[in-house]
Amino acid sequence: MDVGQIAGLIAAIAFAILAGFLIYPLIRLGKLFDQLAQTIKQAGDHVVPTLDESTSTVTQLNQTLTDVNRISAAASTTAGNVGALTDLYGSMLGKPVIKVAAFFYALRKTISSFLSGGRNSAESKSSTAQKSTAQKANDGQGNEGRTR
């Protein structure tokens, strides 16, 4: 064996060792890709039921929102009807009740004035006249409260 053949043999052994070191990471990378493919398949299997459940949840939520819309529309209609009914009662019963109350107040005042013999109104008129006469007397000329 000459030197060239020995050098070729050393190069072949070195290439075999290098190929051996490169094969191990490639085998590990292949296993990683197999696990990744299996994980993606399992995720796909789990995604379909999850999507089905989310679809049914959205459908139920839409149904609930439709019910809430109906309830709020009914509440709005009821509030409008109550407002209209209140206005109706106010216009139909309010004015007559006020008139009846005013009538009874006037009747009470008239009866109390009649029973007291008209003294309340006569006393108030005479006391007003006495005050006016007293003020004029203080001034002497009827100029009460004026400065000179």
Contacts (Cβ under 8 Å, ≥6 apart) of 112: 120
- Judge whether 142 and 148 are in contact, CB under 8 Å: no
What pTM was estimated for this model as a whole?
0.39
pLDDT, tens digit (0-9, with 9 covering 90-100), for 73-98:
999 999 999 998 888 877 777 777 88
pLDDT of amino acid 148: 42
Backbone angles phi, psi at 2, to 5 degrees: -100, -175
pLDDT of amino acid 135: 56
- Judge whether 142 and 136 are in contact, CB under 8 Å: yes
Q: How far is CA 46 from CA 40, 41, 43, 49, in A?
A: 10, 9, 5, 6
How many other CB atoms sit within 10 Å of the CB of residue 144? Answer: 13
